[in-house]
Each structure stands twice: as C-alpha cells, then as structure tokens.
Structure 1
C-alpha cells in the first residue's frame, strides 16, 4: 500500500510539473496490439514483454478484457514482443521495428500447449507495416537508408527532399518547403531539442548543429496532422542520435573530393584564371557499446572537415585610362570621344584616392561591363573553411522501470574569408571578413514507468549558437572612404578595394523543457503534459560606428561638369557617370556620416558604441488527448492543445513606441516612450486564445489496408525576432546616423 501511495504521489508531482513546464519534442511512440487464441478469441490477463534486442532491457504489460495491450512510451529501436499465459505456448515476434513517433502494431496468436514451447514469428509477418493508430502523415528515414542512399556532403537533411510534400532546390535542402508552407513553419529538433536558428528563422531544414550521417540514427518528417503532443510547427522534423548497445560497433572514415576531373568555367578560362580549387577532406570515427552490460551504454562520434577551397568572384574596376582621368563616351552624333576630366575642369587627383586606386589590380575580364571606362577583374577568392563535430550519447537504465538518456553535440566552424556572404577580400592580398562559431546542443531525459498503466517522460535541453562576423581590416586611417551611399540605394561605380564590413554577431540560446505522461486505461491511452521554451537573442552590430566619408559632388561641392564642356555633346547618363568618376578621383566629400547608439535608457548617444540588444521571448503550452481503440479495427484520436507565445521584449527596455497605442501611430503630434522589460509597456498584447483541437481516425478494414483522416490546428513560431529587431534598428530615438553635407 505504501509503495502504491509513493508512485501515486510521484505521478501527481510530475503532472503538476508538466503544467508549469519549450518546445522539446516527444521522441517515443507506442507499441500496441491484441493477443488472441487460434479460434480468434481474445485473451485477457496475458503477460506481454517488450525487449530491446540491442540492450536486453525489457518492459512488461498485461492484456485488458479485450486482449489489447499498450506500451505507451517506447524509444526507437529493434525489439522482441513476447507473450506468456498458462496453458498456452509462448508466442513472440521479432524483430519489431519501432521508429520515431510512428506507432507500431503487433498482434500475436497463442496456441494451446505448454509454456516451455515457443512460437516465433518474424517481424515482417507479425508487425503491421502501416500506421493503424492515428492520422499523422509522416515518413521515416531509417539508419539503413541514411547509410546507403547517396548524399552529397553527407548532409542527412538532403533526404528530406525525397519525401512527399517537400519541395525545394535539388542541392539546398535548408530552403525547402513542406506542403507549400514557409520554411519557418517547420519545427526541426535534434534529440527532442530545437535545432534551428531562432534569430534568422527562415529555413525549414537548417540546423545549428549540421546533421551528418555518421551520428544520426533516423528521422521522422511529419508533414500534416501531427498528434496533440507536437507543437510550435505546422510540420515536424525529429532527428535522433545513434545509441550504444551490448555489442561494440565502430567505424573510421575518410572522404575526399577534389577538382582533378572538374572542368574550368568559361569565364575563368577566358580570363586566364585557373579553375576553382576543390580539396574537401572529411574524416573521423565513431564508437558505440556498453559500459555496464544491459544497463549503461555509450556512443561517441568525432569528425572534421577541412575545405581549403577557392570561389570565383568578379569585380568592376576602372580602366587604366579612367584612373588618369581620361573619360570616353559617344557624342550626340554617335562618334567616340575621349576627354581628360582633370584638364577639362582644373581638378587635381586626390592622393588618398590614388592610394586606394593603387590597390586595385589591372583588368583581366572586359566581359563584365560595356562601359568603355570600366572593365572587370576576375579571380579565385580564398574560401577556406574548417569544421568539426563532437557527438556523445549516453543511455542508462539502472532499474527496470527507469531509463535516462543524455546527449551532447558541438559544432565548430571557421571561415576567415567568406565569399558566400560577399564579405571576402575585395582583391587578392587585401584583408577580408569572415565568420566563426562554436555551437552546442544538449539534451537529457528521464522516463519512468510509475505503474503498469502510467509512464512519464521528463525531457530538458538547451542549444547555444553564437556566431560572430569579423573583419581583418583595421581601418588605420580612423575613417572609411566610400564611393557611394548604400543607405540611398546607390551602388559603387567600381569596386572599393577596402572591405568596409563592420563586425556583428549574435547568440540565440534556447532552453527547452517538456513533460509527457501516458495513462493506459482499458481501451484508452490518455496523454497529457506541457512544454516550456525560453528564447534569448543577444545581438550586436558595429555598423556605422567608424566615421565614413562618401565621395562625390553635392551640397557645398558643386559639380563642375556640364554637357557643354564635352565635344559633340554628351548623353545625360554618360554625364552622370563622368561626374561620379571625377568626384571620386578628385576626392570630393559630399557627405560625412557616423552612427551613434545608446547603451542604456539614460546614457544618451555614446561615441563608438555598437548597437546591442537582448531580446527575450517565452513559450508555454499544455495538452491532453486520448487514443481510443473503439474496436480491433478502429482507433479514434482526440485532444486539445493550448499554446502561449509570449510577446518578445528587450531586456533593458531599449525600445520606443507611441504613447496611446495604435491610434497614436497616425497622430502627427504623438509622443513616444520606452517599451520593453522594466518599463511596464509591452510591444503588443498577449494572445491567450491559441487553442488547437486535434482529431483523427484510423480504420483497418483489411490486414494490409488502413484508412486515416484527421483535422488539426497548429500554431507556428515565425520569424518573430527579426521582425522586432528590424523595428528597433529603424528607431532614431535609440540610434542616429549623423550626416554632414559638403
């Protein structure tokens, strides 16, 4: 009696924990079935044992009055289902394949005889090959497929492109769409913990821990009708790490790809440039096995990728004649003309600009432009990157009814010169900008069988994904010289040799907690629980903090060129180009500008301070549902989920909103005041009516035929943080661009 009271008390505690507990995801599923005799009669009271074939860990259940049994929370793996009942031979089905969030149905028939005899049926005969329990539309990509299907770069997410409902580029899975939805509507998890970039949340299959075939066991892609315990996404993609077993298994691997058989591009050939370098090296190893037989297991994977590549880039450069002030054009009669802008106006070359021109190489590719004063320079920009992965998983089952799992993932990436983001060195031998990142994800769970009918899983985790974009350019002048004003949408006449990118970066940690409880009662399997997610986005941006001088004619520097100075006349577009070229060569400053930021609500604008913001957002949900086996061939699912997506807030209250709400937005006399944490003013009102019903039915009229139908509502996490930060960045009360003209 005391033992029963203990487990009941513990169950109550865990239920309340679930109600006060991000959207970690449930990775377990249920194994169900019926036990009958040779005449088709049901057998109540039969002991059913589920044994993991890799670890020998077992669980038991007892059939109900209808001969049905349910194991409500089973981890992915290969199992044996066996039965034992007085007066009957033992029956068993193996191997039974249990996959992530896909219910498995195993029916067993027992024959009259002694319990010392056993009838074993292979899994292919005894296990239903289709989902007969709920209306989820999902696809499992298992370990055999991950190992055997060809993958360019060993990126597992590419296999998502092969699934029904997924559309996208044949090479870039991260940009794919599921059932036509935005990429942000997919919820991507690794070992139950969110694995997405929550600052720029746009891609469906981009993982902050890139998913390699060496450590992913399998994944489940649910495209519609996800069950009631799955939230924060219209589609669900669940990745699971490989685990250890009683047997030791390991591998060492090396993959290499090079350009030996690659052809050069047409444009590189035409410019006399060698082909892009490809020297990709991927190598590492993994090992899994036991520490304590039948109880403690491990899996570890470590790998590196070295890629000393180059990428072909092209820049617009001035011709040698244009550098000397010689400007070519077609006059009004269509005749070619050339004038020297310095002689035409009396302007002299600026020595600072000349020092910049000296950094620009001679043209080698005239195909880039048809302007006679400009040409092209093509070269292979260094695109070297280094990456490494560390992946660890531990499974511990110290007692029959308790199982603990833990996993840790680390990914490091460094690309000192980054052509992919167009922040690399402008020309060979000059400083460029790149990025570096060390990302980590951890997950842990405790699954407890509190009684023969009640199972609970508590899961928690976190991911950290700091990324920093840095520039090797030191701006020794103390200021920048710019050829155009990007803020006005202008484009440089020709390439500025200085990489003027300013450092920026962010860290967007996510903390996840989930509790999920299952209760088997007769033909019902009730599930209920809760989720909590804490999202923090700590970002910085130094853009504009170094003074910049934009060259050209403007207020205080009148343009000395007029159409009448050009022999034969000149078209308006050519005159504008000539003026832009002369303004640069002569070093005329039309605008000087610098950005000033606040560091607190009381600091005022601080010289040299970069923009820093800490955005916080919390999510909370609770759910309840039931899988009701109405008959041996019909199962009904119903449930309700409630989600709370909290209003984002700025940690220091560094945001400004009109006083008076939405009505003040169009009021020309409106005032603004601080909003965010500590101010008593939210960015907008909380939405408390996010109720998500979920119903479904599965009907199995024949052995290998199932009809399923379902209806559900999903509340998704869209690109919320970027929406908020974009609004904050455009607020002149917290950041100002000071400009002086002439």
Structure 2
C-alpha cells in the first residue's frame, strides 16, 4: 500500500484538521489516530527526539516586532542552509536541527542592518530561544554572544552529555555508564539499568536515533553502543510532555554520530588485564585478587560527504574480546545416611576459560532531498558470541555440563523523514525495526543428547552426566515500530499532535538436554558413591516440560495532542493529553487490553523578563507499559511434569503437573500509573552558567502485579490484579473460606518519592 500527497493539499488538510482539534480535542485525537494509521500502514514506532529546534523573536531597537524578517541558520552539522521568515509578531521557529554548538544565525529585513550571531548552541531534544535586535541601516553586524542558556518553552527535566564530555569524563566504555552523571539517576543493582527518581530498573525507556530499543519482554535496555559512536545523550528524569510515552523512570535518548561536509575519523584501542586492576578489600579485612582476565577493545569510525550539503555517511566498527580464566576445586560431602562412607568427601577440580566476543557497529546516512525534506537512515547492531560456564556453582563430574555457548544481541534499523510543508506546518515520521536473539546451547552440540542427572547424595548436589546444568533455549524478539508527529504554528500557539504504534513478538523454545532433567537419591547398589548409573539410586525424579515452545505478542498504540501557548513573551503554558493502549496476546489463553489517558501540564514564567530566569511547575501522569513477561503468564500449558520412581526405578509412585495454569485476570483491571509534580527555579548567573533548584514529588497511584495464592491441591496459582485498589469478591470469598481469620486483603502499595535537586550548569562554548 502506498500514498502520495502534494504540499498544498496536505497543508489544507492539516489546517482543517487543526481547527477541528482546537474545537474538540477528543474528536480531534480520534482523527489523529485515523490519519496516522493511514499514513503509517507499513511499519513501527520511534520515541525520543533526534534533533533540536531554534525559536525566537526579531525586534527593532524599541522592542517592536519586525514581521517578514528573514532568518537563516548554518552549521558544520547541517546540510545546506535552513531558513524561515518571522510572523506578524516577529516570532520564528526553525525545527529539526542536528545538535551542535557552532550555529550561525543571520537575520535581516528591509531598511535594517543585517545581524549575524555565531556560536549558538542547539541541544538534543531541546529548543534554544533567542531574541535578535535589528537597528536601522544597511550594514552587517557580527555578534558572538551566546543565546540564553535557559529555554522558557522547554518543560523536561533533562541533562545533555556531548561526545566531548564522554571522552573526557572517566566513565566506562558503554553509554549506559554515563547515565549516573545525571541528577536523580541511581544504581539499581541490575547491571546497566539504573533507577530514576524512585522508579525501578524496568521503568525506563531506552531510545537510540529515535528508535525505542527497550527490551519488549524484560523492560530493560536492549542494545549496546560504545561512546565513540555517540554524538550526544539526553537524560530525561521528569516533566515529560504528552508527546512522550509514559515512564515512571527515565527516558534515555541517544543520538549516534553523523557525517559532515568534511571527512573525520578515529582509530582507537584499549587493553586491560587483571594486573592492571586493584585488589578487592572486603569488610572483614580480607583481600581478594582479581580473577585472571584479558580485555581487548579496539575499532574505528569515519564519516564525511558523499555529496557535499546533500548526502553524508558515517560508519563505525568496534570488536571487544574478553577472556576470563577459572581454576580450582570444589569439595562435595556425601550425606547419604544409608552408606558406610557417609561423610566422605569428593574433590572436584575445575579449569576453564570464559571467552566472549562482541561486534558493535553503527552506520548512518543523511540525505537532503531539498530545502524542505530530509531523510535519515541509521543501522546499529551488537551481535555477541560467548563460550562460558554456568559455574562453578554445583560440582560436576564433567566440565561440559556447566559450559555453554551463547549467541545474543541483534540489529536495529530506523528511517526518519523530516518535512516542512509550509512555514507553519512541520512533520516528522519514523519507521523502525529491531531483531534481538538469545540462544543458549551446550558447549558441544552432541551434549544435547545427554540427559542432565544430579545426585542429592552430596550436600551441594553433584552433576553426574554431560547434560547441561541449565536448559538450552532459543529466543527471537522482533519489534516493528512507527510514529508520526505534526507541529502546527498558529499565532502564539505551537500545536503538536501525532500517533504511534509498536508490534512486538517473542518466540521461545526452551527445554532440557536429552529432553529430561533427572534427580536421584540414595545410591545403595554401587561401590562408587558418585555412580553415574541412575538405576543404582533408590529414588529417581524425572522432570520434563509440558510444552517448550511459546509465541507471545504485544501491541502498543498511542496518540497525543498538546499546545504550547506563549501567553506573553515571558509566560508559557504547555498542556496536553496522551491516550495509550497496551495489548498482550499470548499464544493461547486470554488477551489483555489496557487503556489509559494521561494529562500533562507545564507552566514557565521568566520573572526577570530578560531570558535569564525561569520559575516553572509541572504536573503529569505516566502510565507504565507492562513488560511482555506478563504475556507469557497468561499463556496456559507451559508447566512441568515431575514423575517419581522408587525401588531403583521399577515402581512408579506418582506424576505431578505444576505451573501449567495461566494467570487469572481480575475483572476491571487497570494499568499502573505514577503521578508527578515538579516545581523549580532557574537563573543564569552569568553567560553559560546557570543555577537551578528543583523539588520533585512522585506517588504511585496504582500498580499492576501478579499475586500468588494457594490452590486446593497445595499448588500455587497467580492472579493479575491491582493490589490494594480493587478486589475480586467471588475469589476473595474462596480465599477467606480456606484461610479463615488468617486471611488479609492485599494492602495498597505505597511508593512516595521526594527529591530536592540543586544543579550548577556550565555550558561550554565549543564542542
């Protein structure tokens, strides 16, 4: 299916549509969704901005607006020249500018001097505001002063980190290592997934080049990049307007490098090993030397023009090789009370190397179709191969049982189209696709034929066969995404509306090597207490999966409308509403659909009336997107069978099935959300030096959780519900009858966050 549209017709369509939105936002939002669906019928969703904007006012020496003044901008990071004209109020907006600090702004009008202001900074995801004063005459005036560092119209609480800062600040090689530099971002204990403003490690949104890279199943980060490929990062910790997806954590927006009109590149290399690492000192004064390891990290990147001011490219490649050596022994004590050698010890030596290799690469192409249309294609990937061990945790007679091969990572593709249909109507469209995989297989594929056998005649357990200690698995996760945003300037109003969708699928096959996991107890036949023959043991348990394959899908749809209204030159209100719909579709069982409406409002006041002050306040609701893991909980038939045999395997005692029931879903269930209130004040103490004090309050209004309960047969079941805020009377009656006076309703969860943040920001003049 395709479409074609001419600029004039599209402008008329949006103008009529915008009037309808202004009259009735609910009806207008429905039209937005319908229009977006028609336009984006082929693919997927993007989230964070990949550009910034420049807005301002052109006035004369008396402060009166100059309508029709020409404003143009140039930069080494901008293809060609971008320009517009001021409206009747002297205002102008130039959107979709790549972040840079070398912008050159030229303003001119008939009968006035031409003014050229240099070294203007435009940050990722932000709007730089400036005022240009023209004096009567016919000469050219060069101005080098920076625009004010405070953006009155910007409501987000964000921290920008440039590539130059990443190169100079001592952090790790991954972009995730730099997130903790932002206020309100704290370690969560979950690897590279931090906690933000009271949220948890799965409450964040991860965006690279406008593509949502958040893992659709776990809610954690889904792609790796080293900072050599990063142009700029924006860390948003609050105050997100209606155009942004809900998150009770942070929004991490990363932009990779692009080419320019000049060729630039670098070759880099890093090496480290255990001799370069400090010893670990524990609280009991023990000193632990680092495990022997080697790490090689090297690569290159290069970018430049294919056609100057028309077609640019960037490409980067970064292999990373890690090897870690493990060597030692484990002691297992025989605890079989029926053997004369009970208490004897078995020494189990181990010696192996973990070997991991990752190939991270990124490429980007920027093409200027004409002065009004730009295209950007970015592809980045992080495939990895790992040969490592799951131990030494439980002693094993065969090292192969705890060694495996992992294949993980994937690739991401995103295409963005920036369009200027008229001086008042702008549009950005995003299409994207990502594919991630995780495969865990035995070190040697021939070991798939061996059943895993574990003896509990030893205090730590003892693996007796070459079968893998962990289940082998094959998982593939794909996501298609699409987004459209339209900006319409109407007088003092900047109206923005749009829609987006995401369609994710996760297919998994997970099973035991040999098809079964066998547990044995009481070896009474063999002189060898660690006999690998399962029929030497009086008791034998056989465990196997009911259905090892799952096929889960999630769907996400959203639409928004917001208005940024400049009530005066010194007072701005931005208000909007966002509609979101999450659908979880298991391979079988019940489909769950959750709808929500999120109001967001922000106000800002330049009380000094000089562009150097801002008192601001924000209120908003964020609805968390439920992780895809909930979808698998709704899918029945994926339990485990356990069969017990006694008398050395000759007598079948029982066969149980557990974990095969899908979660029950409480009627009237609703999505989880968080309320946020922010109030603060910023002031530019001197050029490029800003002080900000901010109070943040967050409160969880409702949570979505699966709550466990005891089944009549003694097993466990789960119910997906909103604990503490809604109940299921019929189900509660059965629980109360079973538990009597010991039954208590699930309490209402409480999570309050309050934070007072003081920041002193120094803006560097050059990047």
Aligned to 1:658: none
Aligned to 2:135: 111
Question: CA offsets per residue over residues 680-729 of structure 1, 9 Å max, x none?
Answer: xx334x233x011111011112232211111111122233x223324547
Aligned pairs, number:
611
Aligned to 2:36: 18
On the 8 A contact 2:107/2:114 being kept in 1, the answer is yes
On the 8 A contact 1:482/1:496 being kept in 2, the answer is yes
User: Does residue 53 in structure 1 map to residue 73 in structure 2?
Assistant: no
Q: Helix, strand or coil: the match of 2:574?
A: strand
Aligned to 1:367: none
In 2, distance between residues paired with 1:429 and 1:15? Answer: 54
| The one of 502, 515, 529 aligned to 1:533 | 502
Q: How much has 1:69 moved relative to structure 2?
A: 1.4
1:553-568 aligned at under 5 Å gives the runs: 553=522
Q: How much has 1:119 moved relative to structure 2?
A: 2.0
In 1, distance between residues paired with 2:12 and 2:642? Answer: 63
Q: How much has 1:633 moved relative to structure 2?
A: 0.9
User: Does residue 740 in structure 1 map to residue 645 in structure 2?
Assistant: yes
Q: Helix, strand or coil: the match of 1:308?
A: strand
1:155-554 aligned at under 5 Å gives the runs: 155-168=174-187, 174-201=192-219, 203=220, 206=221, 208-234=222-248, 235-262=250-277, 276-311=291-326, 315-318=330-333, 341-342=339-340, 373-374=344-345, 381-419=352-390, 432-472=403-443, 474-475=446-447, 478-484=450-456, 492-494=460-462, 496=464, 498=466, 499-543=468-512, 546-553=515-522
- Structure 1, unaligned stretches of length 5 or more? 268-272, 328-339, 345-371, 561-579, 599-610, 654-674, 676-681
Distance 1:173 1:80, change over 3 A: farther
Q: How much has 1:394 moved relative to structure 2?
A: 0.4
Instruction: Using CA pairs under 8 Å that are at least 6 residues apart, name the structure with larger relative contact order, 1 or 2.
Output: 1
In 2, distance between residues paired with 1:343 and 1:428? Answer: 25
Aligned to 2:626: 718
User: Does residue 622 in structure 1 map to residue 640 in structure 2?
Assistant: no
In 2, distance between residues paired with 1:549 and 1:522? Answer: 74
Q: How much has 1:63 moved relative to structure 2?
A: 1.7
Q: Helix, strand or coil: the match of 2:117?
A: strand
Q: Helix, strand or coil: the match of 1:211?
A: coil
In 2, distance between residues paired with 1:10 and 1:292? Answer: 34
On the 8 A contact 1:479/1:546 being kept in 2, the answer is yes
Aligned to 2:605: 699
Q: How much has 1:100 moved relative to structure 2?
A: 1.7
| The one of 90, 94, 98 aligned to 1:67 | 90
Q: How much has 1:217 moved relative to structure 2?
A: 0.9
Aligned to 2:662: none
On the 8 A contact 1:416/1:433 being kept in 2, the answer is yes
In 2, distance between residues paired with 1:220 and 1:425? Answer: 48
On the 8 A contact 2:388/2:404 being kept in 1, the answer is yes
Q: How much has 1:464 moved relative to structure 2?
A: 0.7
Q: Helix, strand or coil: the match of 2:301?
A: strand
In 2, distance between residues paired with 1:230 and 1:38? Answer: 39
In 2, distance between residues paired with 1:718 and 1:428? Answer: 39
Instruction: Give the greater-gyration-radius structure (CA).
Output: 1
Q: How much has 1:519 moved relative to structure 2?
A: 0.7
On the 8 A contact 2:61/2:135 being kept in 1, the answer is yes
Q: How much has 1:82 moved relative to structure 2?
A: 1.6
Aligned to 1:362: none
In 1, distance between residues paired with 2:315 and 2:35? Answer: 32
Q: How much has 1:277 moved relative to structure 2?
A: 2.2
Distance 1:543 1:506, change over 3 A: same
Q: How much has 1:552 moved relative to structure 2?
A: 1.3
Question: CA offsets per residue over residues 264-290 of structure 1, 9 Å max, x none?
Answer: 7799xxxxx996222211111100110
On the 8 A contact 2:121/2:146 being kept in 1, the answer is no
| The one of 637, 642, 645 aligned to 2:579 | 642
On the 8 A contact 1:307/1:384 being kept in 2, the answer is yes
Q: Helix, strand or coil: the match of 1:107?
A: strand
On the 8 A contact 1:462/1:511 being kept in 2, the answer is yes
- Worse overlay, 543-552 or 191-200: 543-552
On the 8 A contact 1:381/1:424 being kept in 2, the answer is no
| The one of 77, 82, 87 aligned to 2:111 | 87
Aligned to 1:570: none
In 1, distance between residues paired with 2:147 and 2:535? Answer: 81
Q: Helix, strand or coil: the match of 1:126?
A: coil
Q: How much has 1:512 moved relative to structure 2?
A: 0.9
Q: Helix, strand or coil: the match of 2:247?
A: coil
In 1, distance between residues paired with 2:266 and 2:395? Answer: 37
Aligned to 1:566: none
In 2, distance between residues paired with 1:623 and 1:420? Answer: 49
Q: How much has 1:434 moved relative to structure 2?
A: 2.9
Question: CA offsets per residue over residues 599-618 of structure 1, 9 Å max, x none?
Answer: xxxxxxxxxxxx11110111
| The one of 536, 542, 546 aligned to 1:587 | 536
In 2, distance between residues paired with 1:169 and 1:47? Answer: 50
Q: How much has 1:40 moved relative to structure 2?
A: 2.1
